[in-house]
Amino acid sequence: MDIIISKEEVDLQESGLLVAGLFQDQRPLRGSTGWVDWRLNGLLSRLLIDQRLTGEWRERTLIPSQGRICSGLILLFGLGKAREYSYLSVRKIFPFMVETLLNLKASHIGLSLPYGDAYNVDCGKLAEVLIEGFMDSLDPYPLNRAWMESLTLSFAEGKERFGEIFLGIQTAQSILKDRLPIRILTPSETILEATAARSA
């Protein structure tokens, strides 16, 4: 598995498919989903108003990006109520998410789920949980291992979050080293910055 960490924002990171999440009880949209909505000229907000999108638990909505972000497609996952969101809820939704990604035959996936103090979810720990979730969801299905090994995941939450994401992915890499080879791809100067920040 290759993991790309970028200093770009989520809308500028190239991938075939961007996976983002939204809550059923949080309006207006926030975080990366709010940013994507803005880039799509309010399309997601209109879908919410028309009740074609709700954010209910495990809801799936696939929409084209119309060239307004660098990912070709956007897969929105309903995360239920914001107050119930946690690392555990991310782990619970992951088998369903991986099944969907397998059915879509996605090979390069951008991941951007909600994080921050409002949810008690740290950006770096979330990246670690997401990578471990991929592995745990595929373990019962050895035929999907080839897909997993050839998969590319991208994380892009801006340069302020780069160091956190980098450390979270390094932790996942260390935990999974005997189960899955992970190669981390990132601009070399930012690796030096993240290493220096960890040493300080």
pLDDT in tens, 118-136: 999 999 999 999 999 988 8
Tokens in use for 27? 């309006």
- Any residues with CB less than 8 A from the CB of 115 and at least 6 apart, and which? 31, 121, 122, 123, 126, 157
Which tens digits make up the pLDDT trace of 144-191?
Answer: 778 888 999 999 999 999 999 999 999 999 999 998 899 999 876 444
**What are the sequence ranges of the domains in the chain?**
2-199
* 3 state DSSP class of 151: coil
Q: Which residues lie across from 200 on neighbouring strands?
A: none
Looking at 3.40.50.1000, 3.40.220.10, 3.40.50.300, 1.20.1250.20, the CATH number of the domain 2-199 comes to 3.40.220.10
The tokens for 18 are 């961007």
